[in-house]
Chain A
Amino acid sequence: MNPPSDFQRQLTRRAFLGRSALGLGALGLSSLLNGNLPAASGPPGRPQYAPKAKRIIFLFMSGGPSQLDLFDPKPKLNELNGQPMPDSLVKNERVAQLQGKQLKCMGTRYQFARYGQSGVDISELLPWTAKMADDITVIRSMQTEAINHDPAVTFMQTGSAQPGRPVMGSWLSYGLGSNNRDLPAFVVLVSGIGTGQNLHTRYWGSGFLPTVHQGVQFRSKGDPVLFVSNPPGMSPEVRRRVLDSVRDVNQRKLDVVGDPEIATRIEQYEMAYRMQTSVPELMDTSKEPASVFDLYGQDAKTPGTFAANCLLARRLAERDVRFIQLYHRDWDHHDQLPKGITTQCRQVDQAGFALVQDLKQRGLLDDTIVIWSGEFGRTPMSQSNTAYDTYGRDHHMKAFTAWVAGGGFKAGALIGATDDLGYAVTKDPVPVHHFHATVLHLMGIEHTKLVYRSQGRDFRLTDVHGNVVRALLT
């Protein structure tokens, strides 16, 4: 009953799977082909139209940075500092840890200046970011639907606050496959280990998509990929010899029982062997010239820092990895915000700048999207106290700031605006679903068409929502 067009598209899909680093077994493959492909929409395996971008680097600021101290200055808040927030704004509104507390205005202690052709205000905390104002687009009108960390990260990554759905990287691995035979399509790098909000492996989980689409974490300590290293006392030559004998026996088995799954397994063992070289080679930045470390900062020499991960992100982008997910922890500043945010900005500011410049110099920025965002922002109301050296802020969903660069996003623009107190969006709102739709669009995917059938329903990254935000595009 499948019309020839479906058949053709499935062949295309086969071609993608052949290229995929973490290919599917035949069983998984055939179940995808026969069962789980949505009936009415284009199967994945290639963009649906000419993409602007080929890969994404998502710099996730876990914990929720304060937009009011970084990107969205509100003189009125400073004027009203310590006074109650107007009821008209906050009555019956959701707050997190401020539940039942008196809500007071909280200004910022930081100075802002205008930068670049858009004249975007950037705080003194981010001098490097300010320098690249003409490379990035600042979105002041981000909105989310979840007010606590875990559901909000889940929402930002999957389009649903409930666990169980695939994250962006998994959707793109599924939708576009891999461009690199020796590395996974979706790689995760974590910094700020041991501080701030915890991370779940679900944040790079494939949900109901086959687990080949989950992110593979490249670690800074121990094995860069879990179990990639041979056991102590087993040299690469010994390993190769053992693998040869395994292949020999598996090949005989394949000849007898004819199960294509065995052929896949033989291939995957070869891929594993290649990755034993390609992963350490990727992680070894020692041969990068001194100029690179000048650009990213000397932190980049210390594995596990955000700067080191930004450098790795560039190396992964060079190798055409599809989705490069960074998490940097410890932005959850309920109290002692000035102290915390200063540290965080020092860790991320120069490295973020360096990454964008480095991509640009290498001609990679045109087809690489860089995203800088938390899971939500922070309240214009104070938490803990209103003193300018120790204040804090609660979680805020109704307006927060992200920046994007490259891959068909406008450069040097400012999108969206908030009210005088920075509470709500007043112009060009960009809810998370819109944001997802826009990113998929740049990757050549119509967001309503990238679907996967689970439990009898066709699911999308954008759920049943989302519009492409044209104002963000070149």
Chain B
Amino acid sequence: MNKEGAKFMILITGALLASVTLSDGAGSPAKPAPLDFNRDIRPILSDNCFACHGPDEKARKAKLRLDVKEGAFAVTDGKSPIVPGRSSASELIRRVTNTDPDEIMPPPKSGKKLTPEQIGRLRQWIDQGASWQGHWAFQPPVRPATPAVRNGKWARNPIDSFVLAKLEQEKLSPQAEADARTLIRRLSLDLIGLPPTPEEVDEFLADQKAGADGRLVDRLLASKHFGERMAQMWLDVARFADSDGYHDDTTRMMWPYRDYVINSFNANKPFDQFTIEQIAGDLLPNATLEQKVGSAFHRNGPTSSEGGADAKEYAARYAVDRVNTTATAWLGVTLQCAECHDHKYDPFTTREFYQMFAFFNQVPENPIERTLHVAPVIATPTPTQEAKLGELKREAAALEQELKAALEKPGAKPDVVQKETPAADVAELKKKVAAAKKARDDFEKTIPRLRVMADVPTPRPTYILVRGDYRSPGETVTPGVPAVLGKMPDSPKTDRVALAKWLTQPQHPLTARVTVNRLWQMIYGVGLVRTSEEFGAQGERPSHPELLDWLAVEFVESGWNVKHMLKLIVSSATYRQSSRMNPKLLALDPENRLLARGARFRLPAEMVRDNALAVASLFDRSRAVGGPSVKPYQPGDLWREFSYGDSADKAYVRSKGADLYRRSIYTFWKRSVLYPSYAMFDAPNREVCTARRPVTNTPLQAYVLLNDETFVEAARVMAQRVITERPGDFDGQLQRAFQIALARPPSAPEMQAMQNLHREMLAEYRRRPEAAKKLLGVGEAPMPATADPAGLAAWTCVANAILNFDETITKE
């Protein structure tokens, strides 16, 4: 259509142009300068050659291997695929330029074909001497020198030097700094997942002393809501849910693990320790309750209790899930390709896959049990609960002791003078014992329990499963890690503890890179490596490789300090840029990979809801962290529509009172029927480890914001709030509403638009008082008895509009 349609077309065309220039996805057009093997050459070989001439021995053709230097440079019968310095003598070039269908590579039937540009690049690289490097992500990161930049004054910390160096190379300059209001809203959403209150905004604006920004960041990082915000990201990775996932999707109790994640982030637990606890907390010497709870990480995977399921098949499946999840979460590689055959692109063998598998198939579980608590399970009492339980146990024990003594016949112990206890007293005592035991047991049942990891005392043998089939055990393997990623540290046992220690070795090539990249992705929407789940040969090269390595080394050297890294990222001048776009920049870099502006993207699902609840003051900011998962508004029979005929879980029993408005991280996560508004805003169902969510923009999302009970009620309560806070002053109310929702006052045209809407709606609802009453009846939150129905309904429409602004659900 008209103007915006045309603009959109231009922008899209820009995106296409950019996809042509940003050939390596890293934002730099090819230069005649020396080619870099990992940036310029390996992707060509990986995409086109490795499937038949790569790591997979069984699929390898002509015994030729091009993914390792020894293969690519080998001389056979006087010929070599690559003759450094001489492209014309290189067999590789002869084959890719051949016109004979029997000779040309890749073979026509593969459907793959090199472009002239790619062939040119291969030639150039060989003629430049064919310098070979191992895959970048498998080399331990080394802290690079901070690059020199022309506009040194702009940089606030080393991140900026890396970003600016690249911008200057592209002849671009950064955007101006975002204004203070935008900045505090951005920081607040990024670090605690909630919008700032108008009072917080005012306070920040009023703080003219040096270091105000730093103090704001410190306050946010110290907030208990920080952990709730971070957990949202990690729970996708941990595939955490409140239901089993497969078949009838039985309810499970895993929420103590969710609280562990929140508390760990709040306590700024070093990430290496966080890793070790989740991989092997149960196996640590004298493991604490908290460490054992951490190990629930690998009991989060989906399980089945389908009648007729083969326990062996599912046991194997769960171990595979644990390998794949570990690989995605910490290594950023796809080991699962090696489940059935050697990996086609990366040097991971099937043997190595099952060596990893051997860490995870030792759990003494019944794989197809149907119950809330599938063993191994532990109780997770709070200190208060633990004390109380101890007391109840002691009471019961003491009474039992007393009863025992009473029942002993006089003279049974010659040294003690005893009298026979009267029968009535004995009966009374028996009653007391029974009551004490019941009190003890009843209380114990209220203590949450959690599925955790454990290993069988005698290790089970592990076999390579031929083609991934659990019925075809092949060779025996022992636990181990992929050789290309470095050796495991010496330890007496090769168990999950050793695996965890290996993952957190300071020189590990992947753990720190993968983790800082995910933090970057959380803040910027796109990671420095866009494929945050894949750092292997088929993943994308980082946009700023040196910056990624710098951050990775900084992370390790800071003691795996997550808050330190986030503070560094959000304190940079890069972060503080305005997110405004201009057509030229959009055309050049639609995804902002060059970071020539601030990030602007729609909030994730949970934050969309939390924002509405916060804006309406429905969400109680003072409430303590943690607790059982809750069930907010959702259309009535949704679970029943999908449930197994006789499932106990088919009724969705909605929570009451304050639990309707808990932060979204506490919403019951049912895998088979995900909470609808989350599903529509791109949350995964968490059946598999998810490292990044897509960001879509659909009509169904409009329905959620316009019509979902949660959001309609939020609009009404927001209206009540501003009417109460600024009685009798519509313009003041409107000012307030914008401050609450957007941390800024309305512009004059916005003011006008809302005034007009309000006036018309007021007339409408004055004419139709019944309609007003109906609209105000949505949601359980109370309404002031004095409220004027037509006025409140009209204001509810205004608030409904405000909650639907693009800006309201967007981090700017």
Contact A232 B115 (CB under 8 A): no
Instruction: Kindly state whether residue B307 has any CB partner on chain A within 8 Å.
Output: yes
| A226-245 contacts to B (CB < 8 Å) | 226-235, 237-239, 241-243, 245
Q: Is B287 an interface residue (CB 8 A)?
A: no
Given the known A-B contacts A197-B644, A249-B753, are A41 and B760 also in contact in the complex, defined by CB atoms under 8 Å? no
Q: Does A301 have its Cβ within 8 Å of any Cβ on chain B?
A: no
Contact present for A198 and B797 (CB under 8 Å): no
Q: Decide yes or no whether A345 CB sits under 8 A from chain B.
A: no
B525 to chain A, nearest CB (A): 7
Judged by a CB distance under 8 angstroms, whether A148 is at the interface is yes
Tell me which of B12, B530, B676 contacts A35 (CB under 8 A): B530
Among A95, A147, A231, A395, residue most surrounded by chain B Cβ atoms (within 10 Å):
A231
B600 CB–A CB distance under 8 Å: yes
Kindly identify, within residues 570 to 593 of chain B, every residue whose CB is under 8 Å from any CB belonging to chain A: 579-583, 586, 590-591
Contact of B672 among A21, A198, A234, A457 (CB under 8 A): A198
Contact of A149 with B673 at beta-carbon distance under 8 Å, contacts A245-B754, A457-B334 already known: no
Whether a CB of chain A sits under 8 angstroms from the CB of B285 is no
- Asked whether, in the complex, the Cβ of B539 is within 8 Å of the Cβ of A456, the reply is yes
**Chain A residues with CB below 8 A from B699, complex form:** 21-22, 268-269, 271-272, 275
Name, among A95, A252, A254, A269, the residue most crowded by chain B CB atoms within 10 Å (CB to CB). A269
Supposing A260-B586, A272-B706, A457-B337 touch, asked if A24 and B688 sit within 8 A by C-beta, the answer is: no
- State how many angstroms separate the Cβ of B189 from the closest Cβ of chain A: 16
Chain B CB within 8 A of A467 CB: no
Q: Which of B22, B307, B698, B753 has the most CB of A within 10 A?
A: B698
A3 at the interface (CB under 8 A from B): yes
A238 touches B345 (CB 8 A): no
Per the 8 Å Cβ criterion, residues 145-173 of A in contact with B are: 147-151, 162-164
The residue of chain A having its C-beta at the shortest distance from the C-beta of B109 within the complex is A448
Question: Which residues of A are found within 8 Å of B797, using beta-carbon distances?
Answer: 234, 238, 241-242
Q: Which residues of B contact A330 (CB under 8 A)?
A: 645
Whether the pair B4, A251 counts as a contact (CB closer than 8 A) is yes
Q: How far is the CB of B487 from chain A (nearest CB, A)?
A: 25
A260 with B12: CB separation less than 8 A: yes
- Given A227-B703, A230-B706, A261-B602, A245 contacting B697 (CB threshold 8 A): no
Within 8 A of B (CB), among A258-280: 258-266, 268-269, 271-272, 275
In contact, B707 and A1 (Cβ under 8 angstroms): no
B807 contacts across to A, CB distance below 8 A: 249, 253
Residue from B245, B304, B696 with most neighbouring chain A CB atoms (10 Å): B696
B155–chain A nearest beta-carbon distance, Å: 25
Alpha-carbon gap, A179 to B429, bound state (A)? 80
Given known pairs A201-B685, A234-B775, the reply for A239 and B706 (CB within 8 Å) is: yes
* A30-B590, A201-B685 as given contacts; A266 in contact with B4, CB under 8 Å: yes
Which of under 10, 10 to 19, 20 to 34, or 35 or more describes the interface residues of B?
35 or more
Residues of A within 8 A of B25 (CB): 34-35
Please report the C-alpha to C-alpha distance between residue A193 and residue B639 in the assembled complex, in whole angstroms.
Answer: 10
Task: Please indicate the chain A residues that have their CB under 8 angstroms from the CB of B580 in the complex.
Answer: 256-258
Q: Which of B112, B583, B636 contacts A222 (CB 8 A)?
A: B636
Nearest residue, chain B, Cβ from A164: B688
Contact of B688 among A41, A163, A243 (CB under 8 A): A163
- Least Cβ–Cβ distance between A293 and chain B, in angstroms: 25
* Selected contact of A194 from candidates B643, B694, B707, B775, CB within 8 Å: B643
Q: Which residues of B contact A41 (CB under 8 A)?
A: 111
A34 with B15: CB separation less than 8 A: yes
Please tell me if B247 contacts chain A, counting CB pairs below 8 Å: yes
A263 to B11, CA, bound (A): 10
B76-102 at interface with A (beta carbon < 8 Å): none
Residues of B near A268 (CB, < 8 A) are: 697-699, 701-702
* Structural contact, A455 and B304, CB atoms closer than 8 A: no
Q: Are A1 and B30 in contact (CB under 8 A)?
A: yes
Report B722-771 residues with CB < 8 Å from chain A CB. Answer: 747, 749-750, 753-754, 756-757, 760-761, 764, 770-771
Which segment of A65-73, A119-127, A209-217 sits at the interface? A209-217
Give the residues in chain A near B112, CB-CB below 8 Å: 40
Known: A198-B248, A202-B685. A259 touches B696 (CB 8 A): no
The answer to whether A235 touches B771 (Cβ under 8 A) is yes
Q: Which residues of B contact A149 (CB under 8 A)?
A: 247, 306
Interface window among A7-15, A52-60, A409-417, A429-437: A7-15
Interface flag for B154 (CB, 8 Å): no
CA distance A48 to B98 in the complex (A): 27
Residue-by-residue, is B92-122 near A (CB-CB < 8 Å gives 1, otherwise 0)? Answer: 0000000000000000001111011110000
| A200 to B15 alpha-carbon distance, docked (Å) | 36
> In whole angstroms, what is the CA distance A198 to B307 when docked?
13
A284 to B757, CA, bound (A): 33
Instruction: Tell whether A148 pairs with B645 under 8 Å between CB atoms, given A7-B20, A249-B753.
Output: no
Q: Is the CB of A226 within 8 A of B776?
A: no
Q: A232-B774, A258-B583 are in contact. Are A210 and B696 (CB under 8 A)?
A: yes
Which of B30, B586, B700 has the most CB atoms of chain A within a 10 A radius of its CB?
B700
B507 part of interface (Cβ distance < 8 Å) = no
The residues of B that contact A254 with a CB separation of less than 8 Å are 4, 7, 806
Q: Is the CB of B117 within 8 A of A3?
A: yes
A272 touches B19 (CB 8 A): no
In the complex, which residue of chain B has the Cβ closest to the Cβ of A271?
B699
Bound-state Cα–Cα, A199 to B249, Å: 10
Do A448 and B111 form a contact, CB below 8 Å, given A2-B23, A260-B11? yes
Minimum distance in angstroms from B645 CB to a CB of chain A: 5
**In the complex, what distance in Å separates the CA atom of A268 from the CA atom of B778?**
25
Closest residue to A165 on the B side, CB-wise? B688
Say yes or no for B391: interface residue by CB 8 A criterion: no
Q: Which of A34, A162, A199 has the most CB of B within 10 A?
A: A34
B295 at the interface (CB under 8 A from A): no
| Contact of A26 with B by CB under 8 A | yes
Cβ A225 vs Cβ B696 within 8 A: no
A233 touching B771, Cβ below 8 Å: yes
Q: Does B708 make an interface contact (CB < 8 A)?
A: yes
- Complex contact A258–B581 (CB within 8 A): yes
B 110-137 binary contact with A (CB < 8 Å = 1; else 0): 1111011110000000000000000000
A41 → chain B, closest Cβ, in Å? 6
A146-B112 Cα distance, complex, nearest whole Å: 33
Question: Is A219 part of the binding interface, using a Cβ–Cβ cutoff of 8 Å?
Answer: yes
Q: Is the CB of A27 within 8 A of B537?
A: no
Q: Tell me which residues from 608 to 658 in chain B have a Cβ below 8 Å from any Cβ of chain A.
A: 635-637, 640-645, 647, 650
Bound together, the chains give a CA A99 to CA B308 distance in angstroms of: 7
Q: Are B771 and A264 in contact (CB under 8 A)?
A: no
* Cβ-neighbour of B697 out of A98, A148, A249, A265 (below 8 A): A265
Residue contact A238 to B642, C-beta cutoff 8 Å: no
Q: Which of A257, A448, A453, A455 contacts B600 (CB 8 A)?
A: A257
Task: Report the Cα distance A148→B749, complex, angstroms.
Answer: 60
Asked if B749 and A252 sit within 8 Å, CB to CB, the answer is yes
Distance between B152 CB and nearest chain A CB, rounded to angstroms = 29
A407 contacts the other chain (CB 8 A): no
For A24, the closest partner residue in chain B by CB is: B696
Q: Collect the chain A residues with CB atoms within 8 Å of residue B7's CB.
A: 254, 258, 260, 263
A163-B302 in contact given A27-B695, A242-B801, A258-B580 (Cβ < 8 Å):
yes
The reply to whether A198 and B695 contact each other, CB–CB distance below 8 Å, is no
| Contact between chains at A22 and B700 (CB < 8 Å) | yes
B-chain residues with CB within 8 Å of residue A190 when the two chains form the complex: 641
In the complex, B365 has a CB within 8 A of chain A: no
A262 to B749, CA, bound (A): 18
B595 proximal to A (CB < 8 A): no
The answer to whether the Cβ of B441 comes within 8 Å of any Cβ in the partner chain is: no
Contact, CB under 8 Å: A258 / B582:
yes
Q: Which residues of A contact B18 (CB under 8 A)?
A: 30, 34
- 8 of the cross-chain contacts (CB-CB < 8 Å) are A22-B698, A27-B525, A30-B18, A34-B22, A225-B700, A230-B707, A261-B600, A456-B538
Q: A1-B115, A24-B696, A254-B7 given. 7 additional CB < 8 A pairs?
A: A10-B16, A31-B526, A40-B47, A163-B246, A239-B706, A245-B757, A456-B345
